Each structure stands twice: as structure tokens, then as C-alpha cells.
Amino acid sequence: MRLFADVGVNVLLVALLAQVCFSMPRPDPDCQRFRGMASAAHQLQQVSIKLLRAMRAELGPVEMDDYRLEHLPAMNFSIDHLCTLTLNESLYELYCGSSLFKLSVDWLDSARAAGRQSLLNQTSVHVTRLVGMTGDALKRLQQEVPPPPAPSLPVVLHSFNVLHYSFEVAARLKLYCDWSKRLLLRVMQLSRCTSALPHLRNLAC
């Protein structure tokens, strides 16, 4: 009888443990995906900072207005603007902007920017990852993924031009990553994700 009693207790304990496990809140896959995108944007920003430092060391003081790449995305940092965006609009803007930077980085990489291929390759890997993750998120929302952008890029004639273009892309990419992280914080708010990442700033909407 003691054996049957022990077995009964063990079965009861297993049943209680299973009930506790099933009642515990499970991580939301969308929230995990958005946190992964925020982490990818943060890693991309770190690489862009390295590229920017390399360009500063090569060029010295540079005026941003001297070389303006008009195809790069505009960024509105105002809280009022970010708080009006829907989930679909936020992901759409992130996808289009990241795609433009991917195109720009690959263009500079193909131009062989004065021995900076290693940093450009790293940048391309990270921005490609962000584009892919954002595209997958749009598909999960049953949204149409925009076609790849096809802007008119400048004709690079000299390596010095490539350096200037690399500087501008790196500087604006660094800023874009900061904007992207704020945008992703808005995405997580809309998705009711309970916890953000340490490198994401507060966004009071």
C-alpha cells in the first residue's frame, strides 16, 4: 500500500508541476522578434561608429553638406511623429530605410573604398540582417514587402569621392540606427511587449 501511496503522490506532484508550467506566461514570439531587431540595429550602429572613426582618421574635418546623398532616408525624431505611427507604418518605414542603406553600403563596397572593405563588409552583413528581419515581420502581419529601392546613385570617379561618400553614409547610418531603435520601441509599445532592451530609450506616447 505504501508503494501505491508514493506513486500517487508523485503523480500528483507531476500534475501540479505541469499545471504551474502551463500557467506561467510564455514569451511572445513577436516581442522576441522585435527585441532581436532592436539588437540588430544596435549592433549595426556599433559597426557604423567604427566605420565613421576610420573615415574621420582618413579625411580629417569634413563638412557634411559638401557631399549630399539625396536618396538616403529622412528621419523625423519628434515624439509627436513617432507616436502617430501604426505598427505596419513603423515596420514599413524601417524596411524601406534599411533597404536604402543596404544599397548604399553595397555600392560603396563594390567601389572598394580605399581599403575599408572589411568594415563595409561588416556593415553590409548587419544591415542585410535588419532588412531581412523587418521583411519577415511585415510578412507575418500579412503586409506586402516593398520592392527593392532603385535610386540614382552618383558616379564615383576617384577614391577620394568614395571616402567622402563613405563618411556620409556612416554618419547618417549611425543616426539612422538611433532613430530605428526609437521606432522599434514604438513597435514594442504597440505590441504590448512588457520589457525593452537596455540600449532603448524611453518613448512617452
Q: Report the largest interatomic distance among the alpha carbons of the chain, rounded to a whole angstrom.
A: 91
Give me the pLDDT at residue 116, please.
60
Count of beta carbons in the 10 Å neighbourhood of residue 85 = 18
The predicted pLDDT at position 70 comes to: 87
Domain architecture of the chain: domains with CATH:
29-190 (1.20.1250.10)
**Separation of alpha carbons 52 and 55, rounded Å:** 5
Q: What is the pLDDT of residue 126?
A: 95
What's the confidence (pLDDT) of residue 74? 87
> Which of 101, 106, 100, 99 shows the shortest CA–CA distance to 121?
106
pLDDT of res. 65:
62
What is the pLDDT at residue 67? Answer: 61
Q: What is the sign, positive or negative, of the torsion defined by CA atoms of 54, 172, 193, 204? A: positive
Residue 29's pLDDT is 75
Residues of the chain with pLDDT under 70: 1-27, 62-67, 112-117, 156-157, 194-205
What are the tens digits of pLDDT across the range 2-56? 444 454 544 444 444 445 334 444 457 789 999 999 999 999 999 999 999 988 8
- For 150, phi and psi rounded to 5 degrees? -135, 65
Type and span of the H or E element at 115: none
